[in-house]
Amino acid sequence: MEISENIKKYKAELGNEVTLVAISKTKPAEDLLEAYNAGQRVFGENKIQEMTEKWETLPKDIEWHMVGHVQTNKVKYMAPFVSLIHAVDSLKLLKEINKEAKKNDRKIACLLQIKIAEEDTKFGLDAEEAKELLTSEKFSELKNIEVKGLMGMATYTEDEAVVRGEFDYLKSVYEDLKKNNPHFEILSMGMSGDYQVAMECGSNMVRIGSAIFGERNYN
Ligand SMILES: *Cc1c(COP(=O)(O)O)cnc(C)c1O
């Protein structure tokens, strides 16, 4: 199927309640433009240099989401334009984002990444760590960031029960933290292979790449 048809199909399926982030990493600008011309305005990338190059060449009303792991020394390159940073997993990184946001005289929206998969990935906080971070005095001093919710990635498996269990868990952590965090409004979970389960579990932002743009050769 054409990229433009895929965009229309997903937009119709997701409706107004769930935001579609079109994950365009590794794909050329013309593919993004095709999605843009079909009405898509939110794109997600996982490499800062690639995202910056695309931001420079593509229409300026695109919202750019950073969905990959972020190194503190790279924050400055996206601080002028990034709309949402999905995978924040330390106070150190939040402080850096806050510093660069301030330099650019703006507030940057972030999500905390919660580790929910069985796989032993390096990234993500557990629920307790997220709670501690959000209630710390250091965090309350950061005025140029806004933590708007959580992001998580389920185990890569055909076993739907495992995926569902992990998304249910993330949803419960989200609801718990939301009680004391009035800015919480985004629960980013679900990718090409598991977005339907994620939506059933309460996701309101899905990150879909290969199902829109086709398989990637790397990443
Ligand atoms: C690549 C990526 C996606 C999209 O994956 P697909 O399986 O191609 O939909 C979603 N989220 C993150 C964090 C990614 O890195």
Cα–ligand 1 centroid distance for 207 (angstroms): 6
Residue 14 phi, psi dihedral angles, 5° rounding: -80, -30
User: Which of 7-16, 42-51, 96-105, 119-128 bottoms out in mean pLDDT, i.e. has the lowest?
Assistant: 119-128
173 lines ligand 1 (CB under 6 A): no
Q: Are 210 and 192 a contacting pair, CB within 8 Å?
A: yes
Confidence check: pLDDT of 123 > 90: no
DSSP readout, 102-138?
HHTT--EEEEEEB---SS--S--B-HHHHHHHHHSHH
Question: Quick one: pLDDT at residue 201?
Answer: 98
pLDDT tens readout for residues 158-177:
999 999 999 999 999 999 99
67 lines ligand 1 (CB under 6 A): yes
Question: Quick one: pLDDT at residue 6?
Answer: 98
Give the whole-angstrom CA distance, residue 171 versus residue 178: 10
**Antiparallel, parallel or unpaired: β 205-208 and 19-23:** parallel
What amino acid occupies position 170?
L
Give the whole-angstrom CA distance, residue 183 versus residue 189: 18
Using a cut of 0.85, tell me whether the model's pTM lies above it: yes
Give the whole-angstrom CA distance, residue 159 versus residue 119: 14
Task: Look at ligand 1, atom 4, and give the residue with the nearest C-alpha.
Answer: 209
CATH architecture of 2-213: Alpha-Beta Barrel (3.20)
Which residues, 6+ apart, have CB-to-CB distance to 212 below 8 Å?
A: 3, 6, 7, 10, 22, 23, 35, 192
209 lines ligand 1 (CB under 6 A): yes
The two tokens of residue 73 are 């020394």
Question: Quick one: pLDDT at residue 218?
Answer: 64
Question: Quick one: pLDDT at residue 1?
Answer: 67
190 lines ligand 1 (CB under 6 A): no
- Burial pattern 153-187, b for ≥16 Cβ within 10 A else e, equals bbeeeeeeeebbbbbebbbebbeebeeebeebebb
The CA-based diameter of the chain, rounded to the nearest angstrom, is 51
Confidence check: pLDDT of 122 > 80: no
Cα–ligand 1 centroid distance for 140 (angstroms): 31
6 lines ligand 1 (CB under 6 A): no
Confidence check: pLDDT of 24 > 60: yes
Q: Are 5 and 190 a contacting pair, CB within 8 Å?
A: no
Confidence check: pLDDT of 127 > 60: yes
Cα–ligand 1 centroid distance for 180 (angstroms): 29
Confidence check: pLDDT of 219 > 60: no
pLDDT tens readout for residues 64-99:
999 999 999 999 999 999 999 999 999 999 999 999
pLDDT tens readout for residues 187-197:
999 999 999 99
Spatial CA neighbour of 147 closest among 202, 85, 197, 104:
85
